[in-house]
Amino acid sequence: MIRVGIIGGAGYTAGELIRLLVNHPLAEIAFVHSTSNAGNRLAQVHGGLEGDTGMLFCDAYDLGAIDVLFLCSAHGQSRVWMEENTIPAGVKIIDLAQDFRDESCGFVYGLPELNRERIRRAERVANPGCFATAIQLALLPLAAAGLLQDEVHVTAVTGSTGAGVKPSATTHFSWRSDNISVYKAFTHQHLLEIGRNLRLLEPSFDREVNFVPMRGDFTRGILASVYTACPLDGEAASKLYADFYAPSAFTRVTERDVDLKQVVNTNKALLHTAKYGGKLHVVSVIDNLLKGASGQAVQNMNLMFGLDEKEGLRLKASAF
């Protein structure tokens, strides 16, 4: 049984992580830390856990009592926490913030479709960003084949949970409902990890990834529409993607159009490719809280401990 600790347990990603781990047959949660909620039941903050666990949030914890620690605090806080705490030998770490996605401090970038074997051997894993996951999955086969030869154009829309649990003007229901907007055009922070990994696969790639993110009128999910010049015909491109993702546990290429309802509440990523003249269009869909965050974190935990990659993640999308 894998003994698990969670730091920063009150946010959306932590709530999804707890839900997955409570139902994971080979994991047991030892503690969930939250200073502001210490003494409260987990289900008081994460209502979906009502009836599943009677655990309380804590403000003190024993790192020697766990096998793996998930860091779910805000961006920038993981590095601070690491500097202030001594990690016992043998305790593995999975960080869901952006602090170590540059693979500093011994962390491995935790995108299984890119680094599966390295993750298996890792002691520390930096979970990818949600937009970065969807966009990289749309581009990795081209980069691996040396076929990224021109600028890449991305428009991607995310649900309101992507902004986190803390309320703001652009997450308020009255503003978000029946609305859509662009934010951080061409400057989104996930461009750093996207560019870094594409160049690792294709060192000669020196063109722009033009990314326009959008806020959608829904709670969860990401749809990324990606296109770039490609010399392959449609059939060859589809085969390239299908072959690349054949070993993947959750990423699949489909001949039909893809949409969010096929992946929301699952750890799946679905891709659809189509050729238009000299351009290849790839549509990538994921659940931002699962394959884009907590589900991928559990997938990485499974790899790190030599388990079946799908353990605890055999989730089904709703029919409606």
Order across the sheet with 251-253: list the strands.
181-182, 209-215, 152-158, 222-229, 279-286, 269-276, 251-253
Cβ within 8 Å of residue 229, ≥6 positions away: 149, 150, 278, 279, 280
Q: Residue 96 and residue 235: Cα distance in Å, rounded?
A: 37
Q: Residue 120 and residue 11: Cα distance in Å, rounded?
A: 27
Q: Give Cα separations from 243 to 113, 116, 251, 256 (angstroms).
A: 12, 16, 11, 17
Q: How many C-beta atoms lie closer than 10 Å to residue 255's C-beta?
A: 9
Q: What is the DSSP letter of 86?
A: P
Residue listed under structure tokens 């509440």? 265
Catalytic residue set: 130
151 SS3 class = coil
Bridge partner residues of 211 (DSSP):
154
Q: How many C-beta atoms lie closer than 10 Å to residue 96's C-beta?
A: 28
- DSSP states along 213-274: EEE-SSSS-EEEEEEEE-SS-HHHHHHHHHHHHTT-SSEEE-SS---GGGTTTSS-EEEEEE
Q: Strand runs (DSSP E) across the chain, as ranges?
A: 2-7, 27-33, 68-71, 92-95, 108-109, 124-126, 152-158, 181-182, 209-215, 222-229, 251-253, 269-276, 279-286
The token pair that represents 151 in the structure block: 């600028």
Cβ within 8 Å of residue 318, ≥6 positions away: 261, 264, 265
